[in-house]
Amino acid sequence: MTEQISTPSIQVKYRAEKLLNLAATTWLIATTIGQWAFGGYIIAFYGKSTALGDLEKWNQVLPHGYVKGDWTGNLVVGLHVLLAAVLVLGGPLQLLPVIRRSAPMFHRWLGRLYATTTVIVATGGLVMVWTRGAVGDLVQHVSISIQTIYIILFALLAWRYARAGRFDLHRKWALRLFMVVSGVWFFRIGLMCWLVLNGGPAGFDPKTFSGPFLTALAVLVYALPMPLGILELYFYAQKEAKRGITTAVALLIFVMTALMVIGIFGAIAGMWLPRIG
């Protein structure tokens, strides 16, 4: 009797878990494609111009990129944008289960490189915002600065738990680190998704790069990161394994992934390809 009652409910729960796994896999595939596209752009634009010694080309994109005579500042910018490629190309590799399983040594070395690079890139970014200035307004600058704190803290925790052999906690902190390090990427694809859906700029002034939409985006991506919140919901759904929660979180991830895909194609077609073309 008990079996007759529990079997269908176990099956439904199992289906909900499968749906959650499918949502996470779809999200990971979209994220990998989108971050590698960003990485390709970084290499093609900043890598190529730096290798050719044409540093002034940075200023086609960065208003305060190359400043003649300021070698320290230029070095900080150069390291920031070039090492960013390590993060967006290497980050998704760390998440692919097949690599963790088949090449654990590679995962460990890339992990060390990734964690160290996050700290260098985030600290460099912080220096750039407050010494050279950046596009956007004060709320955006403060928000991205708060993200630097998350990045450094989460990198330390992910590293510490890996060294301590607490791989359950390492996995959680490494995923949290990935979410905050990806903040600049989420910001770009969030913006491009918004532009595609609205058919052009809406809710902000493209000349000053400020306005309600950008304020909300900066806060929700950097200071109070929504991607981190969704990750926590994913952890919760995995832990609780309640059918309703698992299904709701899976659907939320599908919706976010659909918006991300729009943003990724918008960023590739409207931002990255035109700059390297």
From 79, 135, 259, 273, residue interacting with ligand HEM (rule: CB under 6 A) = 135
> Does residue 128 belong to the site contacting ligand HEM (CB under 6 A)?
yes
- Bridge-partner residues for 210, per DSSP? 205
Record the tokens describing residue 78, joined without a space: 């150069």
CB under 6 A: which stretch of 117-125, 195-203, 224-232, 236-244 binds ligand HEM?
117-125
Least Å distance, CB 271 to ligand HEM, is: 7
Distance between CA atoms of 277 and 44, rounded to whole angstroms? Answer: 9
From 19, 20, 121, 231, residue interacting with ligand HEM (rule: CB under 6 A) = 121
Record the tokens describing residue 76, joined without a space: 């900080």
Binding residues for ligand HEM restricted to 167-186, rule: CB under 6 A: 181, 184
CB under 6 A: which stretch of 2-10, 18-26, 124-132, 247-255 binds ligand HEM?
124-132
CB under 6 A: which stretch of 81-89, 162-170, 250-258, 262-270 binds ligand HEM?
81-89
Q: Contact residues for ligand HEM (CB under 6 A)?
A: 42, 61-64, 80-81, 84, 87-88, 118, 121-122, 125-126, 128-129, 134-135, 144-145, 147-148, 151, 181, 184
